[in-house]
Structure 1
Amino acid sequence: MRYAVQWLRSLIFTTQAYLMMVPMALAFLPWALVDRRGAWAAVHVWTGWVRWTASWMIGLKSEVRGPVPQGEVMIAAKHQSFFDIILLCNVLPRPKFIMKKQLLWTPIVGWYALRIGCVPVDRGRRGAAIKAMVEQVSAGTREPGQLIIFPQGTRVAPGVEAEYKVGVAVLYQELGAPVIPVACNVGVFWPRQAIYRKPGLAVVEFLSEIPAGKPMREFLGEVREVVETRSDMLMAEAGFALPPPGAADGH
Structure 2
Amino acid sequence: MRTFVNGKIIDLSPDGRREGCLVNSKETNGASYESVTDQQLQDQLTYYKERAPEYDNWWYRRGTFNQGDEANQIWFDEISTVKDAFKAEHFHGDFLELAAGTGTWSSLFLKEALILTIVDGSEEMLSHNPVVSEPNVRTIIADLFSWSPDQLYDSVAFTFWISHLPRERLASFFTMVSRCLKPGGKMFFIDDREVAGTRESHVVGTSGQTMVRKLNNGDHATIVKNFFGDKEIEQIAASVGIELHVHCTPKYFLYGIGSKTV
TM-score category by the smaller chain? 0.3 to 0.5
Higher-RCO chain (CA-CA 8 Å, sequence separation at least 6): 1
The TM-score with structure 2 as length reference comes to 0.37
Larger strand proportion of the pair: 2
Larger helix proportion of the pair: 1
